Amino acid sequence: MTGSTISNAMTRALVDRGARALKFIWGGWAGLASFALFCAVWQAGFETYGAFILPAPLEVFSTVFGLLHIPETWALALTTAKRAGESFLLAVLVGVTLGVISGHAPAVMRLQKPLLTVLLGVPPVAWIVLAMIWFGGGDGTVIVTVLVAATPIVLVGTAEGILSRDRGLDAMGQLYGAGPIRRFTTLSWRHTLSHLFPSLILALATGFKVAVMAELLANSGGIGGALSDARTNFDIAEALAWVVMSVGLLIGIEYGLIHPFRAELDRWKTAAQPWGVKK
Amino acid sequence: MTLKPVLQLSNLGHAYLGRKVLADINVTVESGEVLALVGPSGCGKSTLAHISSGILQVHEGAIERRYKRHAMIFQDTRLMPWATAAENIAYPLRLARIPRRQRRAHVLEAAQKVHLLPDDLIKFPVELSGGMQQRTAIARALVAHPDFVYYDEPFTALDVALKRRMQDLVISNAIATKTAGLFITHDLNEAARVAHRIVVLQANGHGILGTRQVPGSPGSRSDETLAEWVRDALRNDPLFAQIFDVDERAIT
C-alpha cells in the first residue's frame, strides 16, 4: 500500500508542477493585454505630437530588432546586466545579513532606523556624483550607486519578515528541541523568504534603473552610455529603443528567475485558489 | 516498590513583568497517568504547561522530568503554513535528524493513527478543514512516539462532535501506548473524559486547590456515569465551585 501511495504522491507532485508552469505561462495573457494597452496609448501620443517628440511604437520596435542584429548591442546589454546583477546580488547579501541581525536585535533596529531614512532620502544622483569622484567612470561607480540604493530596501524587507515571524511556531520548534539556529533555518527564515520577494523585486528594478542612470551620467558604457550617445545624436527612436531594451532585460530577469522561484516557494499561498484565478 | 512520578513540579512559581501569575504549584504525574489540570480561564494553566515543558524558563521552584521525549498539542494547531501536512507531521523527526527515507514510514504510521488519508498528506494546511488541521497537529505530536504529552487546551476551538472524536483519538492512543500526560482544560466534562485524575488550580494561580480521582479509567467510562459524576461534582463538590465563576478582568 505504501509503495503505491508514494508513487501516487510523486505523480501528483509532477502533475502539480506542470500545472503551475502552465498557470504561470497562462498569466502571460494578462501581461500581453496590458502591453497592448500601453502600446495603444503610445501610438496615440505619436499621432498627437509627431515622430520627433514620440516616435511610433512600431518604429521603435523595428529599431530594437535592428540593434539586436548588431553583436555590440548584446555586449552593451550584457555590461549593464552584469553590473546591475552583481550589485543586486551584493545588495541582497549585505541587506539580508544586516536585516536578519536587526530583526533579532531591537537595539540595532532602533539605531539603524534614522540611518536608513538618511540613506533612502539621499537621491541616487548624489551618490553617482560622489562615486564618480571616488571611483572614476567605471564599474565601481555603477556598482556602489546601485548598492547604496538597493541595500536598504532588502534590509528593511528582511527585518520586517523576521519581526513578523510567528512566535507560536517558535515555541513549537523549541518544544521539539530546536535551538535558536535551527528555529531560524526551519521556521523564521522560511517565513521571511515569503516576505522578502516584494523587496527583492523592487531592489532589482531599482538596480537596473540606477545602473542605467549611473552609466549615462558617468558615461561608462553599457545601455546608459548608448542612451547618452543617442541623445547626443538626437536619435529619439534609438534612445527609446535602448529604454525598451533595458526594460526588457529587467522583465526577463524578474519573470525568468525571481517569479518562478517565488511561485515554487509560495505554493501554499495559491494552493487553495482555483485554477486561473489571479489575485 | 512504587515507581517515581514521571513529572514532578515542586513549589513552582512564575511572574510576568513583576506580576505573580503562579506560586506554590506542586503537581505530580504518575507513570502512565493522564492528569487533567482545570481552572478558570486566565488562571495560568497554559503558563504552567509551558514552564513544565521547557518553553518558558523556570524562575521559581523545580521540575523533575523522568520521561524520555515529550510532545505538545496546542490549542491553535501551530502548523507551518508553507509545509504540507506530511512535512508538518515530520517536523519533530527532522529536528531529531532522522533521515528523510525513515521519516516517511513514521509519518504514514502517525497519519494512520489519526485517520488522515495519504491524499490529505500532500495538502497544505489552508487546504485542510479545522478538524483535519487538528488531526495533523495530533499526528505531529505522536510521530516521534513521545512518552509524555502536554495537551494545552487542544480542542477548545472545535465543535462538540469533533471535540469528542479528537478526545477519543488521544484517549485511545494514550491507553494503547501507556503515555502519561498533562491535560490542560477549563471544561470539566472534557477533563473527566480523558483523565485519570483531576487537579484544580486556584483562580489566581497561587497554589493547587485540590485533587479528585475520577472513578474508572479513561476510555472505559460510559457517557452516563461521566455525566452523573460531573453533575454531582459541580453541584456538591466545593472544589469545582469556582470553575465557571470567573470574571477574567478581575484577576489580581
User: What is this model's ipTM?
Assistant: 0.88
Chain A residues with CB inside 8 Å of B70's CB?
175
> Do A168 and B78 make contact, defined as CB atoms within 8 angstroms?
yes
- What is chain B's mean pLDDT, rounded? 89
Burial of B17 (0-12, 13-18, 19+ CB in 10 A): exposed
Chain A residues with CB inside 8 Å of B118's CB?
5, 8-9
Residue B81: pLDDT band with limits 50, 70, 90 = very high
Give CA–CA dist A157/A163, Å, rounded: 10
Asked if pLDDT for residue A94 goes beyond 90, the answer is yes
Residue range B133-156, pLDDT digits in tens: 999 999 999 999 999 999 999 988
Asked if pLDDT for residue B52 goes beyond 80, the answer is yes
Cell of A119: 540613506
Closest CA to B151 of B60, B11, B20, B29: B29
Tell me the residue type at B81.
Answer: P
Give whole-number Cα distances, A50 to A1, A46, A58, B208, in Å.
72, 5, 14, 88
What is the pLDDT at residue A116? Answer: 87
* Chain A contact present for B67, CB below 8 A: no
Ramachandran region, residue B219 (left: φ > 0; alpha: ψ -120 to 50; beta: rest):
left
Please report where in the chains the cell 538596480 appears, as a residue: A207
Residues contacting residue A79 through CB under 8 Å, at least 6 positions apart: A221, A222, A223
Closest CA to B27 of B213, B203, B226, B198: B198
Residue A196 contacts residue A136 (beta carbons within 8 Å): no
Residue range A199-250, pLDDT digits in tens: 999 999 999 999 999 999 888 889 999 999 999 998 999 999 999 999 998 8
The pair phi, psi for residue A53, each rounded to 5°, is -80, -50
* Chain A contact present for B117, CB below 8 A: no
Residue A203 contacts residue A154 (beta carbons within 8 Å): yes
Give CA–CA dist B154/B34, Å, rounded: 14
- What is chain A's mean pLDDT, rounded? 88
What is the pLDDT at residue A5? Answer: 59
Share of residues in chain B with pLDDT > 70 (%): 95
Mean pLDDT of A99-127: 89
| Cα-to-chain-centroid distance, residue A115 | 23
Record the pTM: 0.83
The enclosing H or E element of A162 equals helix A139-163
Give CA–CA dist B148/B126, Å, rounded: 29
Q: Give the Cβ contact number of residue A269 at 10 Å.
A: 16
Interface test with B, best of A10, A191, A196, A268 (most B CBs within 10 A): A268
What is the pLDDT at residue B149? Answer: 96
Mean pLDDT of B123-129: 91
What is the pLDDT at residue B252? Answer: 44
> Do B53 and A5 make contact, defined as CB atoms within 8 angstroms?
no
Residues contacting residue B6 through CB under 8 Å, at least 6 positions apart: B29, B30, B31, B65, B66, B67, B147, B148, B180
Residue range A137-156, pLDDT digits in tens: 778 888 999 999 999 999 99
Cell of B122: 500532500
Residue B96: pLDDT band with limits 50, 70, 90 = very high
Interface test with A, best of B75, B91, B102, B132 (most A CBs within 10 A): B91
Residue from the list A9, A178, A182 with its beta carbon closest to the beta carbon of B122? A9
* Chain B contact present for A187, CB below 8 A: yes
Closest CA to B145 of B184, B101, B105: B105
Alpha-carbon gap: A95 to the closest alpha carbon of chain B (Å):
24
Residue from the list B83, B95, B144 with its beta carbon closest to the beta carbon of A178? B95
Residue range A8-63, pLDDT digits in tens: 767 877 887 787 788 778 878 888 899 999 999 999 999 999 988 899 999 999 99
What is the pLDDT at residue B36? Answer: 95
Tell me the residue type at A217.
Answer: L
Chain A residues with CB inside 8 Å of B104's CB?
2, 6
What is the pLDDT at residue A278? Answer: 46
Give CA–CA dist B71/B88, Å, rounded: 14
> Do B76 and A168 make contact, defined as CB atoms within 8 angstroms?
yes
Residue range A109-118, pLDDT digits in tens: 889 889 888 8
> Do A169 and B121 make contact, defined as CB atoms within 8 angstroms?
no
Burial of A101 (0-12, 13-18, 19+ CB in 10 A): middle
Closest CA to B60 of B126, B9, B8, B114: B9
What is the pLDDT at residue B89? Answer: 96
Residues contacting residue B29 through CB under 8 Å, at least 6 positions apart: B5, B6, B7, B8, B35, B148, B180, B181, B182
> Do A5 and B108 make contact, defined as CB atoms within 8 angstroms?
yes
Within the 189-208 window of chain A, which residues sit less than 8 Å (CB to CB) from chain B? 190-191, 194
Alpha-carbon gap: A167 to the closest alpha carbon of chain B (Å):
10
Residue from the list B92, B124, B144 with its beta carbon closest to the beta carbon of A268? B124
Give CA–CA dist B30/B212, Å, rounded: 14
Tell me the residue type at A208.
Answer: F
Interface test with B, best of A167, A172, A275 (most B CBs within 10 A): A172
In our burial notation (b when 16+ CB lie closer than 10 A, e otherwise), range A248-265 reads ebbeebbeeeeeeebbee
Please report where in the chains the cell 520596435 appears, as a residue: A61
The pair phi, psi for residue B70, each rounded to 5°, is -115, 165
* Chain A contact present for B123, CB below 8 A: yes
* Chain A contact present for B68, CB below 8 A: no
What is the pLDDT at residue B251? Answer: 46
Tell me the residue type at A266.
Answer: D
Residue from the list B76, B96, B124 with its beta carbon closest to the beta carbon of A271? B124
What is the pLDDT at residue A36? Answer: 94
What is the pLDDT at residue A9? Answer: 65
Chain B residues with CB inside 8 Å of A194's CB?
82
Give CA–CA dist A197/A193, Å, rounded: 7
Cell of A39: 502600446
Residues contacting residue B171 through CB under 8 Å, at least 6 positions apart: B193, B194, B218, B219
Cell of A257: 528567475
Name the packing angle between helices A189-218 and A222-232 (round to 10°).
Answer: 30
